[in-house]
């Protein structure tokens, strides 16, 4: 009897699909049933080969060997994933497997994961596609009842392949060119360079900003405050003499009410969450990084099955989801959500255009709760925070608008116009979902709102004080992760481009995709191009210099936006993928020639006074998430040594994390807080806590250090990984 092979993207998803399909027999990297065999990848198992796979000369990085433009690009099995690839291949080539269901993530990258595995395994069997937006039993069963022909997604695969090949051709060539030219570990690419350029440009704007003094004039009447406005409704006065002149003939004068206007206003709930908007709010409210939010969302989607697919760029649902809304409301009818969910269920759900719009849903709808009732008590505090944001936004869009009466009092004081505004809430509507004001974005209408007395036109106002206040104009704010995500999504609002370019940027969704933006920001941290100062993101000296060295076009968000626009056309079958690939090869050649011809110089700003024990050149101090390393500045040498590592031990004086410095008996704990002077030998520190029976003991510290050592060897998500990969030519 023939069987269907199901290829999932991750083990956790594969196990869930196997359970739903009633597969119970466990094998090596697969689970089998009467009708289905479910196996899984570990993300990408196959990738594009490194340059040395085409020619041994590429093992050494030499400027003269560039550009590297092999044709065609080869696929290789990722070394660390070879065992699982073999396990998957073994199932793919089974004689009793008649067809294959691709069940990887429903998106461009998920398509690439599966297709490359199938291509590398040299399997030619009928393909079908599982395309679902949630991992509930119901969604999986419905998905298998409505499998799509895989050919329907061939163009999506071609777009994914073009994206990957373009990143190889452009990214590897420009990275090697910059690194060889300046003998420094420098990386560049279409998305990371455009993102870094925005951060560096913002820092330059701040540095060049010249603050200007301005004045506002406020008057205090009985029970409320008024602010001076000119005939154009501006409140800022930039000439001190003018402010003083206005102030001088207001002293001791009474006011007269000129006009009282009342306007009924409605405010509808914000649209549902896509990934970028969720990452922004999680950063603003909880301080979570974009990567952290995506990781939490992935758990809520895959492990708990309480939220739908996270990597979506839509903030709407399609009409076919409307029928499932009552079930989703019942699933979240617990705890603080119960009463509001019950209220919505009692009436008829108003599926209005504010959240239901087929034209604004492509691959996946907005992030919403699933129909599965999860055990919320099992969620960690971080998981609960993200779940809470999504559920509240979901409830909000089905509630009536927030309604209020806005009152504006216009008064005349000796010929000058003053205004006071106040709001009276008529119906809280969707805002009753939110019990904390900080969970809501700032509302311009409510920013200067105050409680106003009842007055009418012609009433006299007794003015107790009139005073001017001197203020200074402020430079543009530095990016935090939330605002950087906004800039990546809508770069035309943050860079100077013409109308046509702004239109292109708007159509493509900006720099990167919802699925890649968090990784791009993380990579900029890991390569030490940016760092955090509190919540603010600032470019390092290395990052600033890199932007000076990178070819101009590569720094422009317009270039990467054009790529995304063309990839979108390829995914819809409207552009020839071969033409796109050829364009990228020519572009890579141009970039290399520009770097070769450049006279710019790179200077290390992190040189230490210590010489490399192997080659004698001064070493560089490199800071990562887990500590500090000294690395030889000569890429051909590659010597490195640990300086300090962060531990989970806390300073007994200020409670900040401690660094462990030195080796062997000479190891000492030093407080990472620059304002704290605590330092103590590791042996006495550990002994003291062993004696106290404290949680931080010698064994725990040893375990932490073991974990840190292991992390330093891991190929992914490690702050030194990309840096150290530069030394591959030595191996």
Q: Does position 728 have pLDDT exceeding 70, yes or no? A: no
Is the full-model pTM beyond 0.85? Answer: no
Instruction: Label residue 712 by pLDDT band (50, 70, 90).
Output: very low
Instruction: Label residue 697 by pLDDT band (50, 70, 90).
Output: low
- Is residue 98 within 8 Å of 128, Cβ to Cβ? no
How many other C-beta atoms can be found within 10 angstroms of the C-beta atom of residue 115?
A: 22
The residue count of the chain comes to 731
Q: In this predicted structure, what is the pLDDT of residue 726? A: 42
Q: Does position 2 have pLDDT exceeding 80, yes or no? A: yes
Cα–Cα separations (whole angstroms), residue 670 to 673, 674, 689: 9, 10, 16
Q: In this predicted structure, what is the pLDDT of residue 175? A: 95
Q: Look at residues 287, 277, 372 and name the one whose alpha carbon lies nearest to residue 332.
A: 372
Q: In this predicted structure, what is the pLDDT of residue 253? A: 94
Q: What is the DSSP letter of 640?
A: E
Tens-digit pLDDT profile for residues 637-694: 888 887 888 888 888 888 888 888 877 777 898 887 778 888 888 888 877 766 655 4
Q: Does position 710 have pLDDT exceeding 70, yes or no? A: no
Identified catalytic residue from 58, 215, 304, 309: 309
Query: To the nearest whole number, what is the mean pLDDT of the chain?
Result: 89
First-residue to last-residue Cα distance in the chain: 49
Domains of the chain plus CATH, in order, are: 3-146 (3.40.50.140), 164-207+481-596 (1.10.460.10), 213-269+402-472 (2.70.20.10), 278-397 (1.10.290.10), 607-730 (no CATH)
684-690 — which CB contacts under 8 Å span 24+ positions?
685/649
Structure tokens at 429: 């509507």
Structure tokens at 66: 């560039």
Locate tokens 């760029």: which residue?
A: 313
Dihedrals φ, ψ of 25, to 5°?
Answer: -90, 115
The radius of gyration of the chain's CA atoms, rounded to the nearest angstrom, is: 30
Tens-digit pLDDT profile for residues 150-205: 999 999 999 999 999 999 999 999 999 999 999 888 999 989 999 999 999 999 99
For 547, residues 6+ apart whose C-beta sits below 8 A from its C-beta are 193, 196, 197, 200, 539, 555
Q: Does position 126 have pLDDT exceeding 80, yes or no? A: yes
Mean pLDDT score, 597-609: 87
- Is residue 161 within 8 Å of 571, Cβ to Cβ? no
Q: What DSSP letter does each residue of 455-478 carry, written as one string?
A: --TT-EE---EEEEEEEE--PPPP
Tens-digit pLDDT profile for residues 242-298: 999 999 989 889 999 999 999 999 999 999 999 999 999 999 999 999 999 999 999
Summarize the annotated binding site for Mg(2+) as residue ranges.
Answer: 9, 105
Q: What DSSP letter does each residue of 277-328 carry, written as one string?
A: HHHHHHHHHH---HHHHHHHHHHHHHTS--B--SS---S-B-HHHHTTHHHH
Q: Does position 547 have pLDDT exceeding 50, yes or no? A: yes
Q: What is the DSSP letter of 351?
A: -
Summarize the annotated binding site as residue ranges.
Answer: 9, 105
How many other C-beta atoms can be found within 10 angstroms of the C-beta atom of residue 176?
A: 25
Instruction: Label residue 121 by pLDDT band (50, 70, 90).
Output: very high
Tens-digit pLDDT profile for residues 418-477: 999 999 999 999 999 997 766 676 665 666 788 899 999 999 999 999 999 999 999 999
Tens-digit pLDDT profile for residues 526-539: 888 999 888 899 99
Q: In this predicted structure, what is the pLDDT of residue 657? A: 82
* 701 CB-contact burial (10 Å; exposed 0-12 / middle 13-18 / buried 19+): buried
For 511, residues 6+ apart whose C-beta sits below 8 A from its C-beta are 191, 194, 195, 487, 488, 489, 491, 517, 520, 557, 560, 561
Q: Does position 564 have pLDDT exceeding 90, yes or no? A: no
Task: To the nearest 10°, report the CA torsion of 487, 493, 497, 503.
Answer: 100
Instruction: Label residue 714 by pLDDT band (50, 70, 90).
Output: very low
- Of all residues in the chain, the percent with pLDDT exceeding 70 is 90
- Of all residues in the chain, the percent with pLDDT exceeding 90 is 68
Tens-digit pLDDT profile for residues 490-519: 888 877 766 766 676 666 668 888 888 999
Q: Does position 715 have pLDDT exceeding 50, yes or no? A: no
Q: In this predicted structure, what is the pLDDT of residue 427? A: 94
Q: Does position 46 have pLDDT exceeding 90, yes or no? A: yes
- Is residue 628 within 8 Å of 643, Cβ to Cβ? yes
Q: Respond yes or no: is residue 309 known to be catalytic.
A: yes
């Amino acid at each position: 009897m023939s069987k269907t092979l199901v290829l999932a993207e991750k083990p956790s998803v594969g196990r869930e699909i196997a359970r739903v399909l009633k597969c119970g027999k466990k094998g090596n990297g697969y689970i089998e049933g009467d009708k289905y065999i479910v196996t899984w990848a570990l993300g990408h198992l196959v990738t594009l080969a490194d340059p040395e796979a085409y020619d041994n000369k590429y093992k050494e990085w030499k400027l003269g060997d560039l550009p590297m433009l092999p044709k065609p690009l080869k696929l290789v099995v990722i070394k660390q994933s070879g065992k699982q690839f073999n396990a998957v291949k073994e199932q793919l080539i089974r004689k009793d497997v008649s067809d294959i269901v691709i069940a990887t993530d429903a998106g461009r990258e998920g398509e690439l994961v599966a297709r490359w595995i199938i291509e590398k395994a040299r399997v030619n069997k009928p393909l079908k596609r599982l395309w679902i937006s949630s991992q509930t039993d119901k969604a999986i069963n419905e998905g298998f009842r409505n499998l799509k022909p895989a050919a329907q997604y061939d163009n999506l695969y071609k777009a994914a392949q073009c994206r990957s090949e373009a990143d190889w051709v452009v990214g590897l060539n420009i990275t090697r060119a910059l690194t060889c030219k300046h003998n420094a570990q420098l990386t560049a690419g279409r998305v990371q360079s455009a993102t870094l350029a925005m951060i560096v440009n913002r820092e330059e704007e701040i540095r060049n900003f010249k603050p200007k003094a301005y004045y506002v004039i406020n008057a205090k009447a009985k029970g409320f405050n008024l602010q001076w406005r000119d005939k154009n409704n501006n409140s800022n006065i930039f000439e001190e003499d003018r402010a003083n002149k206005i102030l001088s003939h207001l002293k001791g004068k009474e006011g007269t009410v000129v006009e009282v206007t009342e306007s009924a206003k409605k405010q509808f709930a914000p649209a549902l969450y896509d990934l970028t908007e969720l990452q922004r709010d999680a950063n603003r409210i909880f301080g979570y990084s974009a990567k952290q939010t995506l990781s939490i969302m992935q758990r809520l989607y895959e492990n708990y099955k309480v939220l739908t697919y996270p990597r979506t760029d839509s903030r709407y649902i399609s009409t076919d989801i409307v029928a499932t809304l009552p079930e989703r409301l019942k699933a979240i009818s617990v705890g603080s959500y119960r009463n509001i969910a019950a209220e919505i269920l009692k009436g008829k759900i108003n599926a209005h255009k504010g959240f239901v719009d087929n034209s604004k849903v492509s691959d996946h709808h907005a992030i919403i709760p699933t129909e599965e009732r999860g055990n919320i008590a099992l969620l960690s505090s971080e998981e609960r925070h993200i779940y809470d944001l999504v559920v509240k936004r979901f409830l909000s869009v089905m509630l009536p608008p927030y309604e209020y009466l806005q009152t504006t009092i216009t008064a005349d004081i000796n010929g000058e116009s003053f205004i006071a505004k106040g709001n009276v809430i008529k119906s809280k509507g969707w805002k009753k979902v939110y019990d904390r004001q900080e969970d809501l974005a700032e509302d311009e209408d409510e920013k200067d709102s105050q409680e106003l007395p009842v007055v009418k036109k012609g009433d006299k106002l007794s003015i107790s004080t009139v005073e001017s206040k001197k203020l200074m104009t402020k430079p543009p704010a530095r990016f935090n992760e939330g605002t950087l995500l906004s800039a990546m999504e809508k770069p035309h609002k943050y860079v100077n481009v013409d109308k046509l370019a702004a239109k292109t940027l708007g159509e493509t969704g900006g720099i990167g995709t919802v699925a890649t933006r968090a990784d791009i920001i993380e990579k900029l941290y890991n390569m030490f191009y940016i760092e955090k100062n509190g919540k603010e993101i600032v470019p390092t000296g290395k990052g600033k210099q890199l932007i000076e060295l990178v070819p101009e076009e590569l720094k422009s968000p317009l270039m990467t936006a054009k790529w995304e626009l063309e990839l979108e056309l390829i995914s819809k079958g409207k552009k020839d993928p071969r033409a796109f690939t050829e364009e990228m090869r020519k572009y890579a050649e141009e970039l290399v020639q520009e770097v070769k011809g450049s006279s710019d110089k790179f200077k290390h700003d992190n040189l230490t006074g210590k010489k490399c024990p192997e080659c004698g050149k001064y070493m560089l101090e490199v800071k990562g998430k887990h500590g500090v390393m000294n690395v030889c500045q000569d890429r051909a040498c590659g010597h490195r040594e640990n300086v300090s590592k962060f531990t989970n031990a806390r300073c007994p004086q200020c409670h900040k994390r401690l660094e462990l410095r030195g080796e062997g008996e000479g190891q000492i704990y030093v407080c990472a807080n620059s304002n704290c002077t605590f330092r103590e030998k590791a042996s006495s520190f550990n002994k003291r806590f062993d004696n106290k029976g404290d949680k931080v003991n010698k064994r725990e510290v040893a375990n932490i250090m073991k974990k840190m050592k292991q992390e330093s060897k891991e190929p992914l998500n490690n702050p030194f990984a990309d840096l150290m990969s530069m030394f591959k030519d030595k191996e």
